[in-house]
Chain A
Amino acid sequence: MNILKQLLEFVSYRENIDREGFILKETKDDQKSPESSDKSTKNQKTKPRGRTFKKPVRPSDITKKNNTKNTQEYYETTSSSLEENRKAVGKLYGLPDNKDVVIRDFMIGTSDGVRAFAVFIDGMTDKTLQDFLFQSLMVFAKRPLQTGKEKLAGMVRESLLPANQATLKSRFSDILDAVNYGDTALFFDGCADVLLVETKGWEHRPVEKPTSEQIIRGPHEAFTETLRANTALLRKSIRNEQLTTDIVQVGERDRRYVAIMYLRDLANKDLVAEVKRRVKSIRTDSVLGGGILEELIEDNPYNLTPTSLVTERPDRVAAGILDGRVALIIDGSPFVTVVPSTMYEQLHTGEELYHRWQYGTFIRLLRALAFLLSFLLPGLYLSVVLFHQEMIPTELLLAIAGARERVPFPSVVEVLLMEFSFELIREAGLRIPSVMGTTIGIVGALILGQAAVQANIVSPILVILVAVTGLSSFAIPYHSLAFSLRIYRFMYIFLGATLGFYGLAMGLFAQIILTANLKSFGVPFLAPTGPKTMAGPDIVFRLPMFFHERRPDYLNPQDIKRQPKVSRGWIRQNGGDDNS
């Protein structure tokens, strides 16, 4: 029979009931939505022309709701019973499913032998520190218990544990925040207070060289992903007790620390208050990096141009803070945001100050030219070739015409083809694994350069043009600004190809007026030229350091004076003895 059944299975069709496999079913929240949409359709019946809006729910409310459902509500504060605390921790962390949370039971070595347990997350803590901590409590704590059990945590902090940071907390939210961030929580039997000991020690990248903002002179340090390392890098740059670090937690699900750093006696108080107000008001699940925070706090998120400066170099941030700006450091991001920021500042690298002033000025003028070329050059070429041929001297015109003669495409297609290919190389070059990096060079140089010209797909002059545009774009030091100009470039290609110089002029006017309308934390983006404020020595031209007497006027710092009229005391007849 069995053999017959197997034979039948070979020759007959059988439905595979498991064909669909795993299906992600709708959650309760999603299942609710049809009901609400039913309601809205009912409403629409009564009010046919009106649109019904579902009031958006804040992420904080969602979290609160979820937490109410779970455990947070029941475990708000710690209890004096070790068992209850242990149960609470187990529930809050989802033990035993959650495998990287460790609960370590132990006895304190005091004469009475008090039971205790430690909670920490494996991998987030420094094991050497923890060994030292347990040694102190279990091996070296031989003294008799002098106080009652209810004050045990305080006693341990004061006399048994030589940790550099130890605090007493009794709210579970504080305890979880600390443990999630690498601290160790110590629960003692009979004591409602919990001792939080600083044992942060996760794997992290050391301070390395900047990768996207390389310079020749000046410090070669870059920020890392660790908040405290970054704040320390800034502390190291600005040795001043007025340097203040305010830490705000942002995000509902991923509670991330954002440090706001400024000089207390220099930064405009209203500016600091506004930065704090904006950061504290953010309600979202998570702010993973500087770009997300930037978008959530900037004045004009719809404009292409960035209105805050993001850098990985501590010396640039320090220079900003010393001018009266505010720095925002997000835990986990190796980039620091500086606000307010102006366009001129975004075209600086800070390196001009480390060079002699003449070289700095030369570099800036070169960069100003690169700035214009990076978005205007292809559009200009198209305008000249398509509309204003009379502008080109005859010999050059003949050269261009000769080169273009064998190319079957219209100029605009040719330009778009090259620009698109260049953008592809740029993007691919960024994403390609470094072991295959040389491929990009071969593809870019040989295929797109030489081969395209030889195949009469593009004219040689266009290859030069696209290369110059690309080089100009790379010469812009701020990546976000260069990105915005890359997009503007395509608009100018369209305008130049359709309306010639008139189109370019209209585009320029629109871009100027849209940019002039921007504000970065109350400071006009084109300050100090639009609007005109006091001209500084460090805008387009970089004048010698002894002229840098005032801080930027548009930042309205508490102290505008940077140095006295005569900063080089030695040029005075008395040798500058009274200059100190």
Chain B
Amino acid sequence: MMTIVKEGTFGPAEAIILLAISSSARMFLTYPRSLVETAGSAAWLTPLGGLAVALAGVYVMSLVLKKNPDKSIVEITEEAWGPVIGTVFNLVTVTFFMAVSALFIREFTEALIIAALPRTPISVISIVFISIGLLGAYLGIEAMARSARLSYLYVLGGIAILLLALIPQWNIHNLFPLLGCGPLQVFGAGAYSTAAITEIILAAVLVQSMGGADKFSSIGYKAMLFGFGLLFALMLTLNLSINKEVAEEISLPFYRLSRSIYLGRFFQRIEAIFVIIWSIIGALKIALTLYGASVTLARTLKLPDYRPLIWPLGLAIFIFSFLPLDMPTAVRLDFEFLRPYALLPSYVIPLFVLAAFWLKGRGKRAGS
């Protein structure tokens, strides 16, 4: 197996937390609003369909990874489809990571301008973000996993405070009609939207650092349950606290929710504290996707070290993040381009790889 310098290893607990936190980063942006637009008052039920799809995705990916337990999805794809098509597939994954990173930086930066730093130039926020991403990616996945493991309690604690402090504003009537815009929208379009934010492909790239293919399915299932559980709880709180008509109008629903917290004269408007939690999750997500892109590219090009790629990829991501004209464009790109694109590396390519192995196996059997 090709070894990459400073790849590192970490335990299942760290892996689960890393993947779950990374997949939950999007919740603090415009994503919950798009789910409300899709499913109305039943937006909180959309993660259920997404979870089913994601669990199936983890199962398919685990089947793919078991084809060669010593390697990651990058080498297995190449093994299945040969050096040309395999490399094209792998480049699709690299591009996916870069697209996620670029759009995420843009959306997050815009969100920060709205929430906390209205007079700071966008480039300053972006540069800080990408610098921290570069640092995280340079120090490697081991350090990132440990950081996630260290910070998740504070992150979860912050989310728990957010949810609990909103209890006075809960209104059970906001959940009706129970199936919102209809079952097809809730479990069809909703599942499509939520299944797109999983980190299955990232887990498959990092599989060797997480302890190999044997542990992949157990880590994957738990991470999905954790991530979707979080999404479920947050969406339920959103649906309970704000009715769908208002929620559809808010660009950053959770920022709005944290602003509306009022527990007496002293404990109110705690959105600034959430800026800290959001930013830490955001930085982790950017570092992780940049790391994913660099390692996937290094493995595709069979390089011994991923670190020389961080700087050019980081710079490219930084530039791409400025391509959308404004925040609505970035959000539209996320919805119209990134979500269908996300299905490719996480679900479609693994199925193709399985198909290739199946065809090869049939060819061998027919030949023998």
The interface of chain A, by Cβ under 8 A from chain B, is 383-384, 387-388, 390-391, 393, 499-506, 508-510, 512-514, 516-517, 524, 526, 529-532
Contacts and interface: CB of A to CB of B under 8 A. Distances in A.
A501 B11 contact: no
B272 A510 contact: no
Interface of B: prevailing SS = helix
Contacts of B51: none
Interface in B125-146: 125, 128-129, 132, 135-136, 139-140, 142-146
Interface stretch (B187-195, B262-270, B317-325): B262-270
Given A388-B272, A531-B14, 16 more contacts: A387-B117, A388-B275, A391-B269, A391-B273, A393-B265, A499-B128, A501-B273, A502-B279, A505-B279, A509-B136, A509-B283, A509-B284, A514-B139, A517-B140, A517-B146, A530-B150
A513 B144 CA distance: 6
Nearest to B12: A532
B71 to A, nearest CB: 24
B368 interface: no
B280 interface: yes
Interface of A, secondary structure class, is helix
The 9 closest A-B pairs by CB, nearest first: A505-B279, A530-B146, A516-B146, A388-B272, A517-B143, A505-B276, A530-B150, A501-B275, A509-B283
A104 B135 CA distance: 66
B283 A384 contact: no
B147 interface: yes
23 contacts: A388-B272, A390-B269, A390-B271, A499-B117, A499-B124, A502-B128, A503-B128, A504-B276, A506-B128, A510-B135, A513-B287, A516-B146, A516-B147, A517-B140, A524-B146, A530-B146, A530-B150, A531-B142, A531-B146, A531-B149, A532-B11, A532-B13, A532-B149
B38 to A, nearest CB: 30
A556 to B, nearest CB: 15
B96 to A, nearest CB: 24
Contacts of B129: 506
Contacts of B140: 517
Interface string B20-53: 0000000000000000000000000000000000
Interface of B: 10-11, 13-14, 112, 116-117, 120, 124-125, 128-129, 132, 135-136, 139-140, 142-147, 149-151, 265-266, 268-273, 275-280, 283-284, 287
A529 B145 CA distance: 11
Contacts of B147: 509, 512-513, 516, 530
B170 to A, nearest CB: 24
A502 B136 contact: no
B27 to A, nearest CB: 17
A135 to B, nearest CB: 67
B265 A390 contact: no
A506 to B, nearest CB: 5
B10 A531 contact: yes
Contacts of A531: 10-11, 14, 142, 145-146, 149
A390 B147 CA distance: 30
A218 to B, nearest CB: 31
A531 B18 CA distance: 12
Contacts of B14: 531-532
Contacts of A517: 139-140, 142-143, 146
Contact of A505 (B11, B143, B275): B275
Nearest to B270: A391
A383 B117 CA distance: 11
A29 B284 CA distance: 53
Contacts of B142: 517, 531
B332 to A, nearest CB: 25
B112 A393 contact: no
A543 B193 CA distance: 47
Given A530-B146, A531-B14, A501 B139 contact: no
Nearest to A533: B11
A322 to B, nearest CB: 27
A529 B153 CA distance: 11
Contacts of A383: 272
B128 A513 contact: no
Given A503-B128, A506-B128, A509-B279, A390 B272 contact: yes
A516 B135 CA distance: 13
B3 to A, nearest CB: 19
A502 B117 contact: yes
Contacts of A510: 132, 135
A509 B132 CA distance: 8
A513 B136 contact: yes
A117 to B, nearest CB: 62
A387 B120 CA distance: 11
A501 B279 contact: yes
B149 A513 contact: no
A407 to B, nearest CB: 23
Contacts of A509: 132, 136, 147, 151, 279-280, 283-284
B132 to A, nearest CB: 5
A392 to B, nearest CB: 9
Contacts of A502: 112, 116-117, 125, 128, 275, 279
A334 to B, nearest CB: 35
Contacts of A501: 116, 272-273, 275-276, 279
Contacts of B132: 506, 509-510
Nearest to B125: A502
B13 to A, nearest CB: 5
Nearest to B276: A505
A516 B269 contact: no
Nearest to A516: B146
B283 A505 contact: yes
B18 to A, nearest CB: 12
A529 B150 contact: yes
A393 B266 contact: yes
